[in-house]
Structure 1
């Protein structure tokens, strides 16, 4: 196992909790059908649409296939822009970029709670902006991980209405191929994570710093004065944001097309696959999580159709 059991369980817990929160948020934005009985006795079924705030409601005149192509192109462009900005050390712009995305995503998630309130979207944004500021500019570990629980549901809810099950599956496969290339062949995923953590001071994903047995023993032998001045290298357990949001997108699409139990099956399958990866991973090695998570999602999806 690459990380200590407690740290592994923390990462798995945050992953699964995000999936559950995401399904709740997606369900809150899912359109519903209401039955109205008129005074003359006629019954009418009307569709009640739930709009995503901040001008991020998905376009109606698009197909799942078009959306799939658009997402793939957008990801490739985002990676290219990210590396260009890294090369030119544009940390200020990147932090503003991260801040904007985080604030809007958290606002969308919180609006699921305040949706029925007057000016609910503004209330959600008033809460999300300070949280995004603390996350991006103050770099507090607890705030970072707590807000991550809300970031990915807010992102997923934008894409779920635009996809169907088969395009979501294709997206998982393509992302898995990209992840394997980026980690095992090119190695730029590690460079991007290192840059975000060390230079940008912002990381898109969960991260848990912890001390290993050797570091704890070293600290125990230090004097009080040395503890205050000496720098100790800590271990870092991370889980990228893409590893969280893409299985959530599939689970959200399954929720809208098949139902809650089927969607939960996808989330459980993804969590089990991630747990297996953590269990088999070795210290000092880097692994692309998406191929394993996607395998768990697809196995769960097959089980859903069999049952």
Structure 2
């Protein structure tokens, strides 16, 4: 319950901030906040197998590098490290069923947010601020070297999974589409062991692939919430291992 309250409170505060305060005034603030969060994510990944001081130095260096040079390839690598850190930390604190219920509730929110345009609006705002809590998949290999601050990236509309031929430049996969399944996988690992966690992770990946196939071949590039199919497949995986 506390996790859900915290999540929706963050979403509400973020929406109000994006609506009220001009983006020009938020760019540096958001970039600094993301740099801090990314540094934390890199630190958590390292501190379990490296000495404390080198872990802090490397984490701060990576966060600073992203702040000044947010290349898409670097952004995606740091995003996955941060998602893994979040899953590892919070997965130890919740049971598998708590994580599953959280995933299902967020999946409903994801569906409604995309259906009524809130997710698209917020993603556009965040992308225009040069800070995006999502994975960016360019259309070409050269696109991986592009900066998030590139004008052509800022001009492209954003949705959770975008693959529209009219303005295809890159696809976007929300960080929560990876983060919440990782939370579930981590919770399963700490409660039921590695093999069970691996199976749940495989089902979650199957859900992500299903979302991509639906978005690409059925709804033809229209906005697609990825979490509902991910949550459904994750639930099946959890039922298999319980």
- Note whether the superposition's TM-score is higher than 0.5: yes
8 Å CA contact retained: 2:42, 2:78: yes
What does the per-residue CA deviation read over 1:203-258, in whole Å, with 9 as the maximum and x for residues that have no partner?
112101215xxxxxxxxxxxxxxxxxxxxx65211111101111111111111111
Residues 71 and 137 (structure 1 numbering): CA distance in 2 closer, same or farther, change over 3 Å?
farther
8 Å CA contact retained: 1:85, 1:94: no
Matched residue, 2:129: 200
Matched residue, 1:21: none
Take 2:204 and 2:104, find their aligned partners in 1: how far apart are those partners? 14
Is residue 117 of structure 2 the alignment partner of residue 181 of structure 1? no
Take 1:166 and 1:178, find their aligned partners in 2: how far apart are those partners? 18
Q: Matched residue of 1:203: which SS?
A: coil
Q: Matched residue of 1:287: which SS?
A: coil
8 Å CA contact retained: 2:27, 2:130: no
Q: 7, 17, 23: which one pairs with 1:85?
A: 17
What does the per-residue CA deviation read over 1:174-226, in whole Å, with 9 as the maximum and x for residues that have no partner?
111111111112x11111222222x2112112101215xxxxxxxxxxxxxxx
Q: Matched residue of 2:49: which SS?
A: helix
Q: 58, 64, 68: which one pairs with 1:133?
A: 64
TM-score by length of 2: 0.81
Matched residue, 1:124: 55
Matched residue, 1:56: none
Matched residue, 1:157: 88
Higher relative contact order (Cα pairs below 8 Å, separated by 6+ residues): 1
8 Å CA contact retained: 1:179, 1:290: yes
Matched residue, 1:256: 190
8 Å CA contact retained: 2:30, 2:131: no
Any runs of at least 4 consecutive aligned residues in structure 1 with deviations exceeding 4 A, and if so which?
none
Q: Unpaired runs of 5+ in structure 2? A: 141-166
Q: 40, 45, 48: which one pairs with 1:109?
A: 45
Q: 152, 158, 170: which one pairs with 1:236?
A: 170
Take 2:233 and 2:29, find their aligned partners in 1: how far apart are those partners? 37
Q: Unpaired runs of 5+ in structure 1? A: 1-68, 115-119, 212-232
